């Protein structure tokens, strides 16, 4: 899995032979600054972008293969024993309103480099069926986190934040809430040279700017009813700059961006999930202490913890989910939730590249 945050590749080796997935090994590989710059550039129209997209896709495939080999070395498991690689690929355009989404990462090359079948392109079938193609992970959350008596919400804070609503006596639902880490990371990199604000320390040094927060919350996306999804096509540094006056202190903008992430998550829960006793966080944002604390303050009636406390490593949860989604594809089982994505029906997701 390489997600919207563009920090690196999360690779997992998962045993799915039992009802509960068993994580056998995990490995993280950074993207590298040059590749990250190229991928960011591809989110917007540019010179020779078709060629650049294909080159970046090949680079990603080699990076994915480089991340997979250590998993096999850690466990001593041969490639021949692996059913498939579930490879989400890197999203460079997500435009369900135009009937497409694009995740790159040459699957054919990945088969050649690893000798393992690959399942990729998970989102296109859902979009073809009239859905958003996202989020897809709520189906996996439903499988492993649903409690028979306790209402839970799972909040993934990656580049974009999204939630899964798991009411004990109702249907699973979920949607993208808005920016997670991507605006905070971009602003932090611009003003401190660091890729992210560790523990939210820089954000903790500033103050919330109510006027700026109000201009950001005026974004129509936040008022949309689910199903809805988003990405860098909407929330990017240009989106932020268009809402700045120009005289704000950099640390105050960072504080306000953290408040934007937290307030949009909490408002989404209140509006669409109601009273929730348990909120569980996963993704990179779960490491941000200031963010966790602020979510707790804004959700006084809920316990806010990470998914690690209920047995699943929050850093690798999404990668585990796409392993499960790949298994669903191999078994020709539907894996989308129409209530989540807005698709007209359940369908088998993904394309298979056999060995």
C-alpha 3, offset from chain centre: 5
Handedness of CA 277, 282, 284, 287 (dihedral sign): positive
pLDDT of residue 256: 98
pLDDT of residue 85: 98
For residues 313 and 287, is the Cβ–Cβ distance under 8 A?
Answer: no
The residues, any chain, with a CB within 8 Å of residue 114's CB and separated by 6 or more, are 65, 68, 69, 79, 85
Could you give all domains of the chain from N- to C-terminal order, each with its CATH number?
A: 8-132+317-353 (3.30.420.40), 138-310 (3.30.420.40)
Count the neighbouring beta carbons within 10 Å of the beta carbon of residue 79. 13
The residues, any chain, with a CB within 8 Å of residue 55's CB and separated by 6 or more, are 38
pLDDT of residue 98: 96
Extract the tokens encoding 349.
């997701």
For the chain, which residues score pLDDT lower than 50? none
pLDDT of residue 19: 87
Q: H helices within the chain, ranges in order? A: 33-41, 49-75, 107-114, 124-128, 138-145, 182-192, 201-204, 210-217, 237-241, 250-272, 289-298, 317-330, 338-341
pLDDT of residue 332: 98
The residues, any chain, with a CB within 8 Å of residue 76's CB and separated by 6 or more, are none
**pTM over 0.85, yes/no:** yes
Extract the tokens encoding 163.
């939630």
Per residue in 141-164, pLDDT tens? Answer: 999 999 999 999 999 999 999 999
C-alpha 30, offset from chain centre: 16
Q: Which DSSP category does 329 fall into? A: H
pLDDT of residue 27: 97
């Amino acid at each position: 899995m390489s997600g919207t945050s563009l920090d690196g590749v999360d690779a997992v080796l998962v045993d799915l032979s039992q009802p509960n997935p068993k994580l056998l090994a995990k490995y993280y590989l950074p993207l590298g600054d040059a590749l990250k710059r190229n991928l960011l550039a591809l989110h917007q129209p540019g010179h020779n972008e078709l060629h650049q997209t294909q080159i970046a896709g090949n680079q990603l495939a080699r990076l994915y293969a480089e991340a997979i080999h250590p998993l096999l070395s850690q466990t001593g498991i041969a490639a021949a024993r692996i059913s498939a690689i579930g490879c989400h690929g890197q999203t460079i355009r997500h435009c369900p309103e135009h009937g497409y989404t694009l995740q790159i990462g040459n699957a054919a090359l990945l088969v050649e480099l690893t000798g393992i079948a690959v399942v990729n392109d998970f989102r296109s079938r859902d979009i073809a069926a009239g859905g958003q193609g996202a989020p897809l992970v709520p189906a996996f959350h439903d499988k492993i986190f649903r409690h028979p008596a306790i209402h839970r919400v799972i909040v993934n804070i990656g580049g974009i934040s999204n939630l899964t609503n798991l009411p004990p006596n109702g249907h699973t639902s979920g949607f993208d809430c808005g920016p997670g880490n991507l605006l905070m990371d971009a602003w932090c990199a611009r003003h401190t040279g660091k890729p992210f604000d560790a523990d939210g320390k820089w954000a903790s040094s500033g103050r919330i700017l109510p006027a700026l927060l109000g201009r950001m919350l005026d974004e129509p996306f936040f008022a949309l009813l689910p199903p809805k999804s988003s990405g860098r096509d909407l929330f990017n540094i240009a989106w932020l700059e268009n809402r700045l006056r120009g005289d704000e202190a950099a640390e105050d903008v960072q504080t306000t961006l953290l408040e934007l992430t937290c307030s949009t998550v909490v408002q989404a829960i209140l509006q669409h999930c109601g009273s929730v006793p348990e909120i569980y966080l996963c993704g990179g944002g779960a490491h941000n202490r200031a963010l966790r604390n602020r979510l707790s303050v804004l959700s006084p009636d809920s316990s806010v913890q990470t998914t690690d406390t209920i047995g699943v490593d929050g850093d690798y949860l999404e990668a585990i989910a796409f392993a499960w989604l790949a298994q669903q594809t191999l078994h020709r089982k539907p894996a989308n939730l129409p209530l989540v994505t807005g698709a007209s029906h359940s369908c088998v997701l993904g394309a298979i590249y056999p060995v």
